[in-house]
Amino acid sequence: MSEADSQKFLKDLDKKLWTAADRLRANLDAAVYKHAVLGLIFLKYVSDAFELRQRALEVQLRDPNHDYFVDSKGYSDDEYNEVVRQELEVRDYYLEENVFWVPALARWKTIQENAALPAGTEIEIVNGKKTTYKITSIGKLIDDALAAVEQDNPKLKGVLNKNYTQLQLPAESLTGLINLIAEIPFQHEDLDAKDILGHVYEYFLGQFALAEGKKGGQYYTPKSIVNLIVEMLEPFKGRVYDPAMGSGGFFVSSEKFIEQHGGKIGDVSVYGQESNPTTWRLAAMNMAIRGIDFNFGGQPANTFTNDLHPDLRADYVMANPPFNMKEWWDGKLEGDPRWEHGDPPKGNANFGWLQHMLYHLSPKGSMALLLANGSMSSNTGGEGEIRETIVKKDLVECMVALPGQLFTNTQIPACIWFLTKTKEKRGRGAAAFRDRAGEVLFIDARKLGYMVDRVLRAFTDEDTAKIVNTFHAWKRDKDAYEDVPGFCKSATLDEIAEHGFVLTPGRYVGAEDVVHDGVPFAEKMATLTRELADQFAESAKLEKAIRKNMKTLGFELPAGGKE
């Protein structure tokens, strides 16, 4: 299957699943329904992955040439099959392949086959040994299944949202949702369960963010922005940290980037923090579905007042924190070592986030931070002084102004700050960085993107490539880079100082080089200016001649040519 065919399959699957799932929602709020859907998708994934491993394992257990082979000698067929079945329930076979152990109660077949049974029905569960389970409701069955998965997989402790019993969703709708999610295939030619279910999970996250509007945007950063940042930073290897991780979009995009460029996801260590408990669970499930090893501090917590990774120095830091957050200050933050470049204003967390990220950056690390445009020019509460200090210390590498309407939750114009602890020459070959000391790249991307619908904008692949390639050319080979009026400009620290340390790209990139009649704007303007100067000179000559002739006739014009 070609990549185009794979993408078409996924898009068709997305549309089918979302349309059907939304139809089952009835009057349930999207913020609540989100957890019902995503929890079931997660349960389907771990069960599918378990079953795939179980199938492969059974082949090995019956293969005389495999180390796991179970000899059938001395057993009847029924006895031999029972021995194999018992072996298939050995937990270590799954853990050694990084597959979550799924107890029999939580396997998708158990859930789907018994979802419509009436309350009071007892079912038989075979999990090494036979036990019985009494159904009280479909919601309770799912809650117990998720609890069993958590109990047998310590890494998932506290991650799964076990509240299906409390959902205000009719039993038939929940059963319909189970049957719908059951249609998500194990594999489809060159797509495996992780690819398919991970894609569906991410798609549903985005759709729920749209459905929830402003509230939904707090956990979801639009994919085109995430991809842009990841491609600019290129997190091939090392520690990746997001102190305001939401549902973990930067980590997912980093994984895809690494795989697309022939790297191994195991080369990257993922660290994150999130204060919202339900969003923290979404992120943990998002990582688990993709098999990404993660450290989210073991619990949700406030990044400022309870930093769960105090000693972390990350190679790449990426974040989209809430813009202009007012209620963030706590007395215990007074004199915090993270405020190395100046105390952030107590009524706005923007420069608190920026300095927190800088503090956690390794000596050769790079970071990207989405902030409101005001952060580039504001002088309120000492922000101007902090910005000036950061610029003078040569920590700012690139500023990108973004177009409007990129976010589901805010219309506030935004920008991306790219900072680094060092601009010195390093690396080898095509990935080498030149010495960029004393230089900052400004990119004005406000005219890029297209309208997905009447309210939301996104970048095309070409838009992303234009920004990424400009940044990489500037960073790696100055000869391969050139300023483009209206789009990009490489400025010195002295030039920035002349602008009062304001970092708005529009101040530096100038007017767009518009072509008229095949002539670039700058060239056309120079020609017009010369022509105007010639006309002024000709006008002065004519005026002088006229005055002379009038004087001969006995008339003298007053100065200025007025009568």
For the stretch 450-492, pLDDT in tens is 988 777 888 999 999 999 999 999 999 888 999 999 999 999 9
DSSP 376: G
Confidence at residue 522, expressed as pLDDT on a 0 to 100 scale? 65
Look up the pTM and report it. Answer: 0.80
More confident: 254 or 384? 384
| Span 194-214, pLDDT tens digits | 778 778 877 887 787 777 665
CA atoms lying within 13 Å on the CB side of residue 48: 22
| Span 129-138, pLDDT tens digits | 788 999 999 9
Residues 180 and 473: their CA atoms lie apart, in Å, by 47
**In the structure, what pLDDT confidence band is assigned to residue 562 with cuts at 50, 70 and 90?**
very low
| Span 275-288, pLDDT tens digits | 988 889 888 988 88
Residue 419 makes CB contacts below 8 A (sequence gap 6+) with: 354, 357, 358, 361, 366, 367, 369, 390, 395, 396, 397
- Mean pLDDT computed over every residue of the chain: 87
Res 563 pLDDT > 70: no
407 close to 216: Cβ distance less than 8 angstroms? no
DSSP 484: B
| Span 425-437, pLDDT tens digits | 988 876 789 999 9
Residue 433 makes CB contacts below 8 A (sequence gap 6+) with: 423, 425, 426, 427, 475, 476
- Domains of the chain (ranges; CATH) run 3-190 (1.20.1260.30), 213-509 (3.40.50.150), 519-561 (no CATH)
Res 84 pLDDT > 60: yes
Residues 493 and 508: their CA atoms lie apart, in Å, by 12
**In the structure, what pLDDT confidence band is assigned to residue 233 with cuts at 50, 70 and 90?**
very high
Q: What percentage of the chain reaches a pLDDT higher than 90?
A: 52
Lowest-pLDDT choice from 171-175, 304-308, 366-370, 398-402: 171-175
Res 514 pLDDT > 60: no
Confidence at residue 19, expressed as pLDDT on a 0 to 100 scale? 83
Buried b (16+ CB within 10 A) or exposed e, 441-469: bbbbbbebbeeeeeeebbbeeebbebbbe
Tokens of 498: 């002349």
Tokens of 342: 């100046």
More confident: 188 or 360? 360
Residues 170 and 116: their CA atoms lie apart, in Å, by 12
Among 47-51, 271-275, 547-551, top mean pLDDT goes to 271-275
**In the structure, what pLDDT confidence band is assigned to residue 228 with cuts at 50, 70 and 90?**
very high
Lowest-pLDDT choice from 154-168, 367-381, 485-499: 154-168
Mean pLDDT over residues 40-48, rounded?
89
Using CB atoms within 10 Å of the CB of residue 135, give its burial: 0 to 12 exposed, 13 to 18 middle, 19+ buried: middle
Please give the single-letter amino acid code of residue 369: L
Residues 55 and 69: their CA atoms lie apart, in Å, by 14
Other Cβ atoms within 10 Å of 377 Cβ, number: 16
